[in-house]
């Protein structure tokens, strides 16, 4: 399910299409346990009854839920895996936006490189301005020079890209997107954190935010057994990868 502006809400869609105890409950949001960012696709948990809803919310609160996301980002991410541990929150100079913020809420995101890609040129060859000079990710940067770090207008887009697996350990608003922008690798077609100019250019070949909730693992509220739910990459995002040229990886 992809949420878009000016379309019926997810709660309305659930009420129309399914019959379960919490379907019409405003108090329990029709059983929706967590949220996905606008334009993010993938797995979303919905509880059928009050007991399951409260159990799953407790699992999220206690960080017992394992989540895996897939994202395509600008640049060639190096090192190839790591953890980003930087506090985030609402920006004092723009209360409608979130970003890196000292004294903000703890936020931890693990990541792992899956593949590197280059943009194909008109003659079919691959193009990568970053190749051979990958920038180092500033994993675990201190919260300094924040206003500069949170200004998306200064980002200079590259013609190389990285497909990442991401493992958010916390669930802050826009956490993955903020952390990736903080490292200098904003998500492709991200209008908030890559900047409007870059996002407009991205959307000529990537129609929406390239962020997908690929897998989620929980303890079943009733049986207590570990249960995983997975969602394949949607066709529109698979087509984006097919339009790019896969680059070789160094050990």
Catalytic residue positions, numbered: 37
Cα-based torsion angle of the residue sequence 3, 100, 77, 188 in order, rounded to the nearest 10 degrees: 30
Count of other CB atoms within 10 angstroms of residue 233: 17
Separation CA 114–CA 72 (nearest Å): 10
Separation CA 131–CA 140 (nearest Å): 24
Count of other CB atoms within 10 angstroms of residue 85: 16
């Amino acid at each position: 399910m992809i949420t878009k502006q000016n379309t019926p809400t997810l709660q309305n869609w659930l009420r129309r299409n399914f019959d379960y105890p919490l379907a019409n409950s405003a108090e329990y949001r029709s059983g929706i346990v967590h949220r996905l960012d606008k334009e993010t696709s993938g797995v979303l948990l919905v509880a059928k009854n009050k007991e399951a809803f409260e159990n799953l919310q407790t699992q999220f609160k206690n960080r017992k839920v394992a989540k895996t996301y897939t994202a395509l980002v600008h640049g060639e991410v190096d090192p190839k895996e790591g953890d980003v541990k930087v506090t985030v929150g609402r920006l004092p100079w723009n209360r409608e936006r979130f970003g890196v913020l000292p004294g903000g809420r703890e936020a931890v995101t693990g990541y792992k490189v899956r593949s590197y890609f280059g943009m194909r040129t008109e003659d079919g060859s691959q193009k990568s301005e970053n190749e051979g000079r990958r920038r180092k990710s500033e994993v675990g940067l201190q919260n300094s020079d924040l206003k500069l770090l949170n200004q998306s207008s200064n980002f200079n887009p590259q013609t190389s890209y990285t497909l990442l697996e991401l493992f958010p350990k916390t669930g802050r608003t826009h956490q993955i997107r903020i952390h990736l922008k903080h490292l200098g690798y904003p998500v492709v077609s991200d209008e908030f954190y890559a900047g409007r100019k870059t996002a407009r250019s991205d959307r000529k070949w990537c129609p929406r935010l390239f962020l997908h909730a690929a897998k989620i693992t929980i303890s079943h509220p009733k049986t207590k057994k570990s249960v995983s739910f997975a969602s394949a990459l949607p066709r529109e995002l698979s087509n984006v990868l097919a339009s790019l040229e896969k680059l070789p990886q160094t050990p």
